[in-house]
């Protein structure tokens, strides 16, 4: 399965990247970064560092978007909990150009996984009128359809960060699967995941074990329970078939371009598959996949 990943590499994006890289049936063709949890430039640096620890070489391009200050309290000063990662070199192409190029080179084969705001995807659609017909599928982590949002009563962070872009992506005519807070807030790890990653001892899993405690701190302060929701890893796992939907209707859906609300509307001209529930136990499945990855050993 050929994947283009678009992300704003914060803590849960790092876990999602590990899920994609751990799957032997997945080829990560390229990564574009977008303003969101942190700046697109910092997100690219984070992605390159994680790829280095994973022993992988993948083109990483910097995109843009609407930077609204990031989520330092959730993701840390650098997006990955303040943890230092190895360096790397970005691809000179802007992220939208990388996506357009990959889709044209692999028509009908490229699957897009979008884990941050939709700015790069909307820019790519504007750049190439044929893009929507060339891409096999688009999986977007975002939205709050039947539950409250996490930035307002109705809006979720990724969608609200660039609501006009999200509206354009949903309306583009390609097959869109939305993975909203309705699902991801219930897909969780408890604190034992930190110990499991640390005990694995390889450079990537060790780094992940150091990155995620800040995420636990934030959610523990909110809920009183030391658990984290697996927003981006759940979307990545669904995109590559690690998780199987059990409730995923195709709905009339529209994005309010001013508020970022994702509104279920049977009369809407735009439609998307929305995943509300999955089979099995997603948290353990995601952790087991990361731990089973063929990562470089400690030296």
Q: At what angle do helices 11-22 and 40-54 cross, to 10 degrees?
A: 40
Q: What is residue 241's three-state secondary structure?
A: coil
d(CA 75, CA 218) in angstroms, rounded, equals: 9
d(CA 14, CA 128) in angstroms, rounded, equals: 29
Q: Are strands 60-62 and 110-114 parallel, antiparallel or unpaired?
A: unpaired
Q: Report, in angstroms and rounded to the nearest whole number, the Rg of the chain calculated over CA atoms.
A: 17
Please enumerate in sequence order all residues whose Cβ is within 8 A of that of 224, keeping only pairs 6 or more positions apart, or say none: none
Helices (H), 135-212: 157-161, 163-170, 181-184, 192-200, 203-211
Residues 171, 146: contact at Cβ < 8 Å? Answer: no
DSSP one-letter string for 164-178: HHHHHHHTSSS-EEE
**HSE of 227 in the Cβ direction (CA atoms, 13 Å)?**
14
> Catalytic: which of 8, 13, 182, 200?
8
- The candidate with the shortest Cα–Cα distance to 133, out of 175, 192, 87, is 175
Rounded to 5 degrees, what are φ and ψ at 177? Answer: -115, 125
75 catalytically annotated = no
> Catalytic: which of 13, 162, 231, 232?
231
d(CA 56, CA 45) in angstroms, rounded, equals: 14
231 catalytically annotated = yes
Tokens of 29: 């063709």
Residues 223, 33: contact at Cβ < 8 Å? Answer: no
Positions marked active-site: 8, 231
């Amino acid at each position: 399965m050929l994947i283009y990943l678009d992300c704003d590499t914060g803590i849960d994006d790092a876990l999602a990247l590990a899920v994609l890289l751990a799957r032997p049936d997945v080829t990560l063709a390229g990564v574009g970064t977008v303003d969101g949890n942190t700046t697109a430039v910092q997100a690219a640096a984070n992605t390159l560092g994680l790829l280095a620890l994973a022993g992988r070489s993948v083109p990483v391009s910097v995109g843009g978007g609407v930077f609204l200050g990031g989520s330092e309290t959730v993701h840390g000063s650098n997006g990955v909990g303040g943890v230092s990662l190895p360096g790397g070199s970005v691809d000179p192409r802007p992220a939208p150009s990388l996506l357009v190029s990959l889709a044209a080179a692999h028509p009908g084969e490229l699957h897009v996984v979008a884990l941050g705001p939709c700015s790069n995807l909307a820019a790519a659609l504007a750049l190439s009128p044929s893009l929507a017909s060339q891409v096999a599928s688009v999986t977007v982590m975002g939205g709050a359809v039947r539950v409250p949002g996490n930035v307002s009563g109705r809006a979720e962070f990724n969608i609200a960060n660039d609501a006009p872009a999200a509206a354009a992506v949903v309306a583009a005519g390609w097959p869109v699967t939305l993975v909203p807070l309705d699902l991801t807030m219930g897909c969780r790890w408890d604190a034992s995941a930190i110990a499991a990653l640390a005990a694995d001892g390889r450079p990537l899993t060790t780094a992940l074990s150091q990155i995620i405690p800040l995420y636990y701190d934030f959610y523990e302060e909110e809920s009183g329970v030391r658990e984290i929701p697996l927003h981006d890893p759940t979307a990545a796992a669904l995109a590559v078939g690690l998780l199987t939907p059990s409730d995923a209707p195709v709905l009339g859906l529209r994005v309010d371009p001013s508020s970022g609300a994702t509104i279920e509307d049977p009369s809407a001209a735009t439609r998307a598959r929305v995943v509300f529930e999955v089979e099995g136990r997603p948290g353990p499945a995601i952790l087991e996949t990361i731990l089973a990855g063929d990562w470089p050993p400690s030296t």
